[in-house]
Amino acid sequence: MEITSGVRPLAIVRAGGRVTGLRLARLALPAGRAPRPENFVVNRKESPVFREFDVVIAAIGSRAGVPVEKTRGVFYAGDLVLGAATVVEAVATGKNAALEADAFLRRAPRPRIRHRAKSRALLAGVGALPVPLAAEFFGRPIRSPFLLSAAPHTDGYAQMRLAYERGWAGGVMKTAFAGGPIHIPGEYLFRVGPATYGNCDNVSGHPLDRVCGEVARLVREFPDRLTLASTGGPVTGRDEEDCARWQANTRQLENAGAMGVEYSLSCPQGGDGTHGDLVSQNAALTAKIVDWVMAAGRADCPKLFKLTAAVTAIPPIIRAIQAVLARYPHKLAGVTLANSFPALAFRAAATRRWDEGVVVGLSGEGVVPISNLTLARAAGLGIVVSGNGGPMDYRAAAHFLALGARTVQFCSIVMKYGLGIVDELHSGLSHLLAERGLRSVADLIGTAQPAPITDFAALSAAKKLPRVTSSACVHCGNCTHCPYQAVALNRRGVPTFDATRCIGCSLCAQSCFAGAIQLRPRTAAETAALAQH
């Protein structure tokens, strides 16, 4: 490609009935003149030049043929203001037009533009967080209610330090134990769906001694962050030995300076199997372990007992824990609810007749509705709850808080998007609070209680009917998968809806990726048609 600058066309050259090139005059800028296109003049001291071309692209230097009229609410920029100006100057006119439009919308005086091609304006800036997100953890102030859960991104000092540098308020270090080596299989992580994972919270391979050293360092270097640790202990049925280990792990982490300790009572890979595969499926066993910990633990170090949602009812488990906590009124404790959900995933196995089944703990988007239901039934019982189990955006986290969780722990969202996602979580929650007229996180916590669930019998029985915005329809036919055979396409490929068959289930509207289908109330005749059918 050959670029010729600083020239002006003199003539279009033709040969053999076709255009072959341009004859160009060299330009010069007189002394003292600004380097604008209209100030350049033909350089008479240099001979014209000829340039061949294959294609002509009209890119810059155009002059608009649209008349510029003074119309209220209309502002002009670019070539309409300056003609064939430079790109920098054209951008400046756009900024000026934006200033004028902003003043017009605010009904403020029209700004004084000193130079159409050069001007400046000092802006107040954008408030990233219109509502402050300050929260607390058992009375300890924290910068936001969003924490990292015990997971791969909290498995060590380096990970936690990076998280704090990225802006996280705190985190629970990955679950660690004292004693011998921990078996952690290779390729333990499963990706079940685009935003659903398995085994994100598998235990740490680091011994408790190392974790204690890392806890102490993090607390020393980041005193304004909430550094929590996670541990557990054996459940062998030999209560004296088991109790000693749970209590020893507790004291070790407290002595390291942990700002709180979380206890894993719900590892998806299983527990003792007496009254359920997981410890926290057994109310009596859960209460026993809670008592061991509370008896030995310091009053000023909060304890969180991590429970599972895989129970027929969560209130009996919560009440069993509350009965124990009532014996230690001067000590701080609550629950983390809920853990990842136990499930079975398959992967290829060369030595088997069929794929290998592996028990995993589901996390991420797929378990959020389960966590919502569990929190709805537990958070109103008067126990401190740290919400966990799948939130993949700020709105899911807001639901947890509205149901009564005091903090929200994240795992899968960081696995998918990285630690920097915390900025979007903070911004999203803050703007959501502003939108709902809430002035703080404290105003949000528990707002859905005491009756967060609408009873099935109380749900409206009104059957709406779909309508389509024809211009938005992309004629994909997804809506014709209607199980009630109420949708058909007309000759233009736009859906029509049979009021005698449609029961208003909303599948078509929710399946329309173009957003062309909405539900509307039925007319009296349409309601009668369905009733008669």
For the chain, the average pLDDT equals 91
Q: Residue 416: name the closest of 196, 119, 137 by CA.
A: 196
Model pLDDT, residue 88:
79
- Half-sphere exposure in the Cβ direction for 364 (13 Å, CA): 22
The helix (run of H) or strand (run of E) holding residue 141 is strand 140-142
Rounded to whole angstroms, how far apart are CA atoms 142 and 223? 11
Beta-bridge partner residues of 42: 27
DSSP code per residue over 56-86: ----S-----S-----TT----THHHHSS--
Q: Are 412 and 197 in contact (CB under 8 A)?
A: yes
Does residue 183 or residue 176 have the better pLDDT?
Answer: 176
Rounded to whole angstroms, how far apart are CA atoms 271 and 281? 9
Model pLDDT, residue 65:
73
Fill in the DSSP letter of residue 25. Answer: E
Rounded to whole angstroms, how far apart are CA atoms 44 and 70? 41
Q: What is the pLDDT of residues 320-357, one digit of tens each?
A: 999 999 999 999 999 999 889 999 999 999 888 999 99
Fold of 460-532: Alpha-Beta Plaits (3.30.70)
Question: SS3 for 348?
Answer: coil
Does residue 40 or residue 487 have the better pLDDT?
Answer: 487
Model pLDDT, residue 70:
86
- Residues listed for the chain: 533
Q: From residue 384, how far is each of 29, 90, 114, 400, 446 by CA, in Å?
A: 76, 58, 60, 13, 11
Which of 33-59 are b and which e, b meaning 16 or more Cβ less than 10 Å from the residue's Cβ?
Answer: eeeeeeebeebeeeebeeeeeeeeeee
Q: What is the pLDDT of residues 362-391, one digit of tens each?
A: 999 999 999 999 999 998 999 999 999 999
Question: SS3 for 186?
Answer: coil
> Which two three-digit tokens encode residue 287?
């209460």
Fill in the DSSP letter of residue 174. Answer: P
Q: Are 407 and 139 in contact (CB under 8 A)?
A: no
Rounded to whole angstroms, how far apart are CA atoms 48 and 27? 10
User: Cβ–Cβ contacts within 10 Å for residue 65, how many?
Assistant: 5
Rounded to whole angstroms, how far apart are CA atoms 346 and 355? 6
Residues 6+ apart with CB under 8 A from 162: 419
Model pLDDT, residue 532:
59
Q: Residue 309: name the closest of 200, 408, 390, 192 by CA.
A: 390
User: Cβ–Cβ contacts within 10 Å for residue 402, how many?
Assistant: 21
Q: What is the pLDDT of residues 269-327, one digit of tens each?
A: 654 444 446 899 999 999 999 999 999 999 999 999 999 999 999 999 999 999 999 99
Model pLDDT, residue 221:
98
Of the listed ranges 22-26, 75-79, 235-239, 410-414, the one predicted with least confidence: 75-79
The helix (run of H) or strand (run of E) holding residue 230 is strand 226-231
Considering only the C-alpha atoms of the chain, give the largest distance between any 2 of them, rounded to a whole number of Å.
105
| Residue showing tokens 């598998």 | 202
Band (407; pLDDT cuts 50, 70, 90) = very high
Strands 146-148 and 407-410, bridge-based pairing: parallel
Model pLDDT, residue 441:
99
Which own/partner pairs from 508-511 qualify as long-range (CB within 8 Å, at least 24 positions apart)?
Answer: 508/466, 508/478, 508/479, 508/482, 509/466, 511/478, 511/479, 511/481
Q: What is the pLDDT of residues 221-263, one digit of tens each?
A: 999 999 999 999 999 999 999 999 999 999 999 999 999 999 9
Q: Are 342 and 277 in contact (CB under 8 A)?
A: yes
Band (174; pLDDT cuts 50, 70, 90) = very high
Beta-bridge partner residues of 51: 22
Q: Where are the domains of the chain?
A: 7-52, 135-444, 460-532
- For 135-444, CATH number out of 3.20.20.70, 3.40.640.10, 3.30.390.50, 3.40.50.1220 equals 3.20.20.70
Q: What is the pLDDT of residues 46-92, one digit of tens each?
A: 888 888 877 766 655 566 677 888 899 999 888 787 776 677 778 88
Rounded to whole angstroms, how far apart are CA atoms 130 and 123? 17
Rounded to whole angstroms, how far apart are CA atoms 305 and 143? 23
State percent of the chain over pLDDT 90.
72
User: Cβ–Cβ contacts within 10 Å for residue 184, how many?
Assistant: 11
Residue type, 529: A
> Which two three-digit tokens encode residue 259?
């700002």
Band (1; pLDDT cuts 50, 70, 90) = low
Model pLDDT, residue 274:
44
Residues 6+ apart with CB under 8 A from 270: 277, 278, 359
Edge-to-edge strands, sheet with 196-198? 190-193, 196-198, 356-364, 341-347
Q: What is the pLDDT of residues 206-216, one digit of tens each?
A: 999 999 999 99
> Which two three-digit tokens encode residue 309?
């949602």
Model pLDDT, residue 68:
84
Rounded to whole angstroms, how far apart are CA atoms 247 and 293? 6
> Which two three-digit tokens encode residue 263?
């206890």
Strands 135-137 and 140-142, bridge-based pairing: antiparallel
| Residue showing tokens 């001067």 | 330
> Which two three-digit tokens encode residue 312?
């027929």
Detail the DSSP E strand segments found in 261-355: 261-264, 303-306, 333-337, 341-347
Model pLDDT, residue 199:
85
Rounded to whole angstroms, how far apart are CA atoms 498 and 518? 15
